[in-house]
Amino acid sequence: MVPAAVARVLAQAAKLFLVFLPLMGCSSLVRFIVGAPPEGVPGHVEGFLGGVVADEPRATLIAREVLSSGGNAADAATALGFALAVTLPSRAGLGGGGACLVYQPGMAVPHALLFLPAAGENPPPNADRPAAVPMLPIGLETLHARFGHLPLDRLLSPAEELARFGVPVSRALARDLQVVAQPLLADPAARAVFGPGGLVLDEGGVLYQRDLATSLSQIRIAGLADFYHGVLAQRLQAAAAAAGGGLSASDFAKAAVQETDALDLNAGAVRIGFLPPPADGGLAAAAAFRVLEQKPDAFAVAKERAMAVAARWRAAGGNANDLLTAVLPKASLPPLPASSGFVVLDRSGSAVGCALTMNNLFGTGRVAPGTGILLAASPRVAPLPLLAAAIGWLPEKSAFRVAAAASGQDGAPVALADGLLAALRGEEPMPKPLPPEPGRLAIISCPQGLPGDEESCKWVADPRGNGAALGEKSPKEMEQENPQSKGK
């Protein structure tokens, strides 16, 4: 029998538990009973996580789970980039590239990592569709090596699993598949992946990419060196040749990420860092920003200025800051390829904004046989897109303020500038009316700064696209919206 004194203690404990149970909420109850999940497992972080906005929902969810697992913004962005190579290969892939900005509280200026698709040096005559040198793996690995926290293999695993076991085709991918159905089905390796029944997969159909899963597994196990210098590099070069891509061992060996400071501007109490050239969509967006700063609705003038600045840089290079103030004639760019932008914010106020591309919708339209890797189009045959992303911060507080990325060919720079200005005016992060077509915007804004006041933070995906904005609100904000939801 239980002694009377012990029974009284247990009874009192039970009463206290019942008193506090309604206040604990679901997740808190689980933690009370079994403890918090360990770092690296979703649920490790309780309450405010930060936010993620990207063009494809499943990849967005993976990044959100990394934040929930205790990963920082760089970890989540790394996992997101690799996941997009599986879930949105039309715009992001191991064969492509991109550019990222990183901000951490205390930085004097955001750090830029540029890994744009590069042209092979001497494509052979039989390369009927010259491929770009694959830059996404080295770009994301460098992002993680410089700023990440969780082990890289954990960040690669979700993408590998999606490729191996299949993922439902999202609306975003389904629309891209319809645009290029005929060229994709003409390539046997691409047809086996995207149109195994003779028609390209529709929304909700399951996309299996088992060869790509094997390549991701090889990167996860053997490391980046194998992709650029080892067995996987040799396999990919041979497969690229078979697909008419024409890449050499020398091209792979010379792959490198350019690291530099962001192109930064003053905007009152906020400073904004844009992607710098050669990711010249940032330069074009900075030019559009200066126009819209003075005339908020002058979108046509802002686009004209953005194109003039970008065209001059592409023609002659030069100092980016000088170009922003130079008197330039009207100019235009050739039709530009597709891209994808995303932004990530973690609970500490660190942020990452990236723009990725295959330098054409689905790149060359050909998969390197046996690797599952779509080959991006070489800049020799297709112009690079205007990769546009920016991060704003409050220097006096050493705090994050806003992060945005934009896509939409020649509409990306104005969409980015419009979103930044709307956020800085203290409005909702997504401008009303929406940025001009064909621009698409992903944005996170914390009007009171982070660290500081996480309850002011909001994240929004462009409603005209098919992406997602995910995060976790603070417990206080959740309680204000629904007093019964506290802690859930």
Encode pLDDT of 366-418 as tens digits.
999 999 999 999 999 999 999 999 999 999 999 999 999 999 999 999 999 99
Q: Would 445 be classed as within a structural domain? A: yes
User: What average pLDDT does range 125-133 have in this prediction?
Assistant: 91
437: left (phi over 0), alpha (psi -120 to 50) or beta: beta
User: What is the tally of structural domains in the chain?
Assistant: 1
- Reply yes or no on whether the pLDDT at 421 is more than 60: yes
Q: Would 72 be classed as within a structural domain? A: yes
Calculate what percentage of the chain has a pLDDT beyond 90. 84
Amino acid letter at 341?
G
Amino acid letter at 217?
S
Q: Would 319 be classed as within a structural domain? A: no
pLDDT tier for residue 478 given thresholds of 50, 70 and 90: very low
Q: What is the tens place of the pLDDT at every residue in 23-70?
A: 333 444 444 345 578 887 888 888 899 999 999 999 999 999 999 999
- State whether residue 277 is helix, strand or coil: coil
Q: Would 306 be classed as within a structural domain? A: no
- Reply yes or no on whether the pLDDT at 422 is more than 50: yes
Query: Residues 100, 103, 107, 110: is their CA dihedral positive or negative?
Result: positive
Q: Would 322 be classed as within a structural domain? A: no
pTM above 0.75, yes or no: yes
Check residue 487 and give its pLDDT. 31
118-119 and 111-115: which strand pairing? unpaired
Instruction: For residues 212 and 357, give the distance between their C-alpha atoms in angstroms, rounded to a whole number.
Output: 18
Q: Would 284 be classed as within a structural domain? A: no
Q: Would 269 be classed as within a structural domain? A: no
pLDDT tier for residue 20 given thresholds of 50, 70 and 90: very low
- What is the per-residue burial (b if ≥16 Cβ within 10 Å, else e) of 204-231? ebebbbebbbbbbbbbbeeebebbbeee
Lowest mean pLDDT across 30-39, 103-112, 455-464: 30-39
pLDDT tier for residue 473 given thresholds of 50, 70 and 90: low
**What is the domain range of residue 133?**
50-261+332-470
Check residue 193 and give its pLDDT. 97
pLDDT tier for residue 6 given thresholds of 50, 70 and 90: very low
User: What average pLDDT does range 86-90 have in this prediction?
Assistant: 98
Q: Would 396 be classed as within a structural domain? A: yes
Lowest mean pLDDT across 39-48, 182-191, 344-353: 39-48
